[in-house]
Amino acid sequence: MKNNWNTGTPLSFTGSGKSKLLLCKVQWGNEIFPAVAFYNANTGEWIERNMRPVIGDVIGWQEINL
């Protein structure tokens, strides 16, 4: 099964500025790592689940369907 990765900024929830929880591909140097994070449209930051900014550049994301 092929993953469909999005590359733009995710939609935010009305009023909160935060996206849904997302599975992200993060590039740090020459390596690519998975990360679980949300995007904050108010600050333009990707925040990982422990409320710290994601290290590196988010190069792809998809919604987590629970």
**pLDDT value of residue 36:** 92
Report the pLDDT averaged over residues 21-31.
92
The band of 53, judged by pLDDT with boundaries at 50, 70 and 90, is: confident
Q: Domain limits of the chain?
A: 22-63
Q: What is the pLDDT of residues 28-43, one digit of tens each?
A: 899 999 999 999 988 8
Q: How many CB atoms within 10 Å of residue 18?
A: 16
